[in-house]
Structure 1
Amino acid sequence: MTITATAQRWSHGYAFFLAATASAVGLGNVWKFPYILGQNGGGAFLAVYLGCIVLIGIPIMMAEVMIGRRGRRSPGYAAREVARESGAHDLWQLVGWLGLFSAFLIMSFYVVITGWAFSYVHKAATGAFVGADGDQVAGVFAAMTASPAEMLAWSTLAVTLAFGIVALGLRQGLERWLHVLMPVLLVLLLTALASAWWIGDVRQALDFLLRPDFSALTSHGVLIAVGHAFFTMTLASGVLMMFGAYLPQHTSIGRTAIGVALADTAVALIAGLAIFPIVFGFGLDPAEGPGLMFQTLPLALAAVPAGVLLTTLFFATLSLAAFSTMITNVQAFVHLFHERLHASRVLAVLVCGGAVWLLSLASVFSFSGAAWTRLDITLLGREIPTVYHAIEHVAINLMLPLGGLLIAVFAGWVVHTRVARDELALAPFAFTIWRLVLRYVAPIGLGALLLNLAGWI
């Protein structure tokens, strides 16, 4: 007997919305979005990013959920079932398997960054940044990344908590916890926003975010916007197909996808509006890069009277955003193991959690400078100093766009029109637009991204 997703369903469509939003709202919104916005022209990048969400993100999200709900299986098997129903070859199941493999690679370093955020909550709450100057704040970050033991301790905690929640089951574990975590995350974000507007330069931040300077946006920046839309919305990672398999038949895929995209974008904007007033108010560089959250913000917030509280608040928000993504992503791995090998949920959790933890060691020791992780190679047009950089580059910049391209081609050209119409239940005009986007707009955008990666454009 095969264990299928039909035995498990979300209790209602809102649960799917929470799960898909939690999967999308993570480090991509709170940590990565502000600094890549700062590096690529502010409002100009924002305008292009929003266009990518509308023209590529939402249609592909709808396609993924449609495949998952129609197949009612783990992503690879769901894609195979839909391909068979459409009279296509079983090889199209690679659409699902590629996504799951991408998610597995991403989770291997995502748990380490989540561990950093957990660590910084503790550091901030215990006053590690009080009275610190720039060198001291940078020293805190350098000491953490130089210590494999510290990083292992926090990333192990993140893995244990995430897989522990998933071990409780779909409704008693993931769904129940999301009903708690997501409202708390929203409250923390809004509190962080209010705090930033209290101590920062709101006018300059709004000007930076809302007044586009297209002269500062390069063609490479446009492609970064396409890639980030995939990363932040967890597109082509298999997760949305898995959640679609649990989705009740009466729930509208189109309305839910639009809702998730709006929620994800709103969180990214709130994060920007919470961070950039501090950046400009304290004379920091908005294009600082990954260190913006972990080095420059603690330095700025340490200088205000309520610095301990505000710094703790910001990193608690980052931790919760990262953790919410973790628990939704690992659900897909556990379900696959449970479905394919008929293993108990506990065994599936132990095996999958152990696999993610073991691969995370490559990132931990890459950050700490272990000699065996050094590569110093050029891969797909990018300098790759360590194993971590290779995993991150291949998973996010190659596999996600490639997976998205395959999904667009599969849903737009291969899936039978009757199947797509049955699942999406769109008005004729809306269905035509959706199909045209998947057939032409998305492949062109994602093809350009892949060609740029190869150095051909």
Structure 2
Amino acid sequence: MHIAATAQRWSHAYAFFLAATASAVGLGNVWKFPYILGQNGGGAFLAVYLSCIALIGIPIMMAEVMIGRHGRRSPGYAARAVARESGAHDLWQLVGWLGLLAAFLILGFYVVITGWAFAYVQKAASGAFAGAGGDTVAALFAGLTGSPGEMLAWSTLVVVLAFAIVALGLRRGLERWLHLLMPLLLVLLLLAVVSGLWIGDAARAVDFMFRPDFSALTAQGVLIAVGHAFFTMTLAAGVLMMFGAYLPQETSIARTAIGVALADTAVALIAGLAIFPVVFGFDMDPAEGPGLMFQTLPLALAAAPAGVMLTTLFFATLSLAAFSSVMTSVQAFVHLFHERLHTSRMLAALVCGGAIWLLSLATVFSFSGAAWTRLDITLAGRELPTLYHAFEHTAINLLLPVGGLLIATFVGWVVPARISREELALAPAGFRLWRFLLRYAAPGALGLLLLQLVGVF
């Protein structure tokens, strides 16, 4: 028995697949995955990461979507409805509310970094990187991050576009645009791979990515793989729970979750195949870190034949991947505001967009060095010099793992097995495996991650 029903539904299962994949495929795949792969030994890290996706990511994704579909409401209210049917305390609604809080904080800096990618498309197309040396490229990045006005203009464009699309409604807005943008993203990614293989060292890149060297993998690297699986798949951020509320009852949650995980992983690997040939072909350090994307790669791409075109293509791909995640994440907030206050979608989009835009100011001015963004505090063993660092650390390193642990505990131990069986419709052996992973493997891995993050070991 379902407690409540939201009127909105995906037009078909493929629309849910596109939305969940768009939410997962973002900066985590095209920007973060390549550099953490480079920092943690290449193929060995990849093997652990894939294991995390299979043993932790997919079971929790299934649980999160299940809560949304059974509750048929916004995340917090869906979790409360499922808790009440399960005879559990209303406090379990925190499973949904913590996810939305994490998503809100993430959007506060994600729209700014997406704005960087937009800005780099314009810079690349105008030939700003053509013939540029290392000092010039570094100065361009420093000029962008040191200019509140420029960053604010680009991040405002990201917010306006995303909320304007979502304001059109689920099918006329988000779903219609996903049908256009996701195939385009795939085409751009494949073109980026061809370009990277053309100008770079494909043999060294493939060897680095797919030959495991476990001597280069540390215990911290294993926990980084667990954390990145959460970030890249948008787990415990409320988005998948919201999308589950739109999911038709006849759609298989298990098949869809596996499909999204495979698509997300494939995009991460494709991004690696686009980036690492360039890294090795131009003798760059694959463990360089975040600067690899916005400072080192533009220098290499611009020096290649057809450099202006290649650099523009690369940052257009990054922009589209990042924007797809922003667009899908804001859906949950607009729906919540529209559902609870019975306002028009346009008003809901304006209010929610304004709130996220205001939050993004903290990130904009953190990078430009404004005094009011300075914190200089330590939280859970990590130094946080600015508000931006506090948002990022709190959302990604604390709220997402805690939310995942709560989801696994709630669905694995509190929600009756009959509800899970009804929603998942798995074969008995598959259901037992899923429940075992949700009850033991996921909480164990997330518990270790949280202990490491707070400095216990």
TM-score (norm 1): 0.99
| Identical residues among aligned pairs (%) | 81
The AA in structure 2 aligned to 1:455 is G
Give distance in 1, aligned partners of 2:390 and 2:206: 36
- Counterparts of 1:358 and 1:18, CA distance in 2: 29
Amino acid at match of 2:137: V
Quote the Cα distance in structure 2 between the aligned partners of 1:5 and 1:405.
27
Paired with 1:45 and 1:382, the residues of 2 have a C-alpha distance of 23
- Residue matched to 1:109: 109
Which segment is superposed worse, 21-30 or 79-88?
79-88
Contact 1:74–1:332 (8 Å) recurs in 2: yes
Is 2:181 aligned against 1:187?
Answer: no
Find the aligned partners of 1:343 and 1:302 in 2 and give their Cα distance: 49
Question: Do structure 1's residue 343 and structure 2's residue 330 form an aligned pair?
Answer: no
1:29 paired with 2:29, answer: yes
> What number of residue pairs does the alignment pair up?
455
CA distance in 2, matches of 1:122, 1:107: 22
CA–CA distance in 2 between the matches of 1:115 and 1:388?
15
1:257 aligns with 2:260: no
Deviation at 1:86, TM superposition (A): 0.9
| 1:5 CA drift (Å) | 5.4
Specify the alignment match of 1:175 in structure 2.
175
Residue 150 of structure 1 is matched in structure 2 by: 150
Equivalent residue letter for 1:194 = V
For structure 1, the 5+ residue unaligned runs are none
How far apart in 2 are the matches of 1:303 and 1:185?
24
| Cα deviation digits, residues 37-59 of structure 1 (max 9, x gap) | 00011111100000000000000
User: Equivalent residue of 1:258, what SS?
Assistant: helix
What per-residue deviation string (whole Å, max 9, x for no partner) do you get for residues 347-395 of structure 1? 1000000000000000000011111111122211111111100110010
Q: 1:251 aligns to what SS in structure 2?
A: coil
Give the aligned partner of residue 372 of structure 1.
Answer: 372
Alpha-carbon distance, 1:179 to partner:
0.1
Q: Deviations over 1:256-291 (max 9, x none)?
A: 000000000000000001000000000111111111
Cα distance, 1:405 vs. partner? 0.1
C-alpha contact (below 8 Å) 1:39/1:286 kept by paired residues: yes
Once the two structures are overlaid, the 10-residue window that deviates more, 298-307 or 228-237, is 298-307
Hey, what does 1:69 align to over in structure 2? Answer: 69
- Alpha-carbon separation, structure 2, partners of 1:10 and 1:22: 15
CA–CA separation in structure 2 for the residues paired with 1:219 and 1:343: 49
Matches within 5 A, 1:22-171: 22-171=22-171
Structure 2 residue identity aligned to 1:16: F
Where does residue 221 of structure 1 map in the other structure? Answer: 221
SS in 1 for 2:6: helix
After superposition, residues 381-392 of structure 1 pair within 5 angstroms as: 381-392=381-392
Shift of 1:341: 1.1
1:242 maps to what in 2? 242
User: Following the alignment from structure 1 to structure 2, what is the Cα–Cα distance between the partners of residues 363 and 214?
Assistant: 37
Q: Distance in 2 between matches of 1:148 and 1:13?
A: 42
| Structure 1 CA distance for aligned equivalents of residues 234 and 179 of structure 2 | 20
Q: Which amino acid aligns with 2:241?
A: M
CA drift of 1:304 comes to: 1.4
Deviations 1:162-200 (A, max 9, x none): 000000000000000000000000000000000101110
Give the conservation status (yes or no) of the 8 Å contact 1:60–1:235. yes
SS of structure 2 residue aligned to 1:358 = helix
4+ residue runs of structure 1 moved beyond 4 angstroms? none
Q: In the alignment, does 2:409 pair up with 1:409? A: yes
Aligned residue for 1:327? 327
Q: How does 1:431-450 map to 2 (within 5 A)?
A: 431-450=431-450
* Matched-pair contact (CA < 8 Å) for 1:5–1:74: no
In 1: Cα distance, 2:283 partner to 2:353 partner: 42
The alignment partner of 1:128 has SS state of coil
Please name the residue that 1:304 is paired with: 304
Structure-1 separation of matches of 2:91 and 2:386: 33
Aligned residues of 1:5 and 1:246 also touching (Cα < 8 A): no
Q: CA deviation at 1:446?
A: 0.2
Give how far 1:119 is off.
0.1
TM superposition shift of 1:305? 2.1
Q: Counterpart amino acid of 1:414?
A: V
- Is 375-384 or 347-356 further displaced after alignment? 375-384
Deviation of 1:6 after TM superposition, in Å, equals 2.3
Deviation at 1:312, TM superposition (A): 0.2
Task: Tell me, in whole angstroms, the C-alpha distance in 2 between the residues paired with 1:403 and 1:265.
Answer: 22
* Distance of 1:199 and 1:131 partners within structure 2: 16
Distance 1:251 1:365 in 2: 45
SS in 2 for 1:302: helix
Does the CA contact (< 8 Å) of 1:45 and 1:225 recur in 2? Answer: yes
Name stretches of at least 5 consecutive residues in structure 2 with no aligned partner: none
Give 2:295's aligned amino acid.
Answer: Q
How many angstroms apart in 1 are the aligned matches of 2:183 and 2:399? 32
Shift in CA distance, 286/214, structure 1 to aligned 2, threshold 3 Å: same
Are the counterparts in 2 of residues 146 and 369 from structure 1 also a CA contact under 8 Å?
A: yes
Q: Could you say which residue in structure 2 is the equivalent of 1:289?
A: 289
Shift of 1:142: 0.2
Change (3 A) 1:5 1:268: farther
Rounded Cα–Cα distance in structure 2 between residues aligned with 1:269 and 1:189: 10
Once residues 319 and 277 of structure 2 are traced to their aligned partners in structure 1, the CA distance between those partners, rounded to angstroms, is: 21
Q: CA-to-partner distance for each residue in 1:75-128, whole Å, 9 max, x for gaps? A: 000001111111111110000000011000000100000000000000000000
For residues 377-434 of structure 1, the C-alpha deviation after alignment (integer angstroms, 9 at most, x for no partner) is 2211111111100110010000000000000000100011111000000000100011
Q: Which residue identity is paired with 1:13?
A: A
Q: Aligned partner of 1:417: which letter? A: A
Offset at residue 445 of structure 1 (A): 0.2
What is the SS of the residue equivalent to 1:93? helix
Tell me the residue number matched to 2:200. Answer: 200
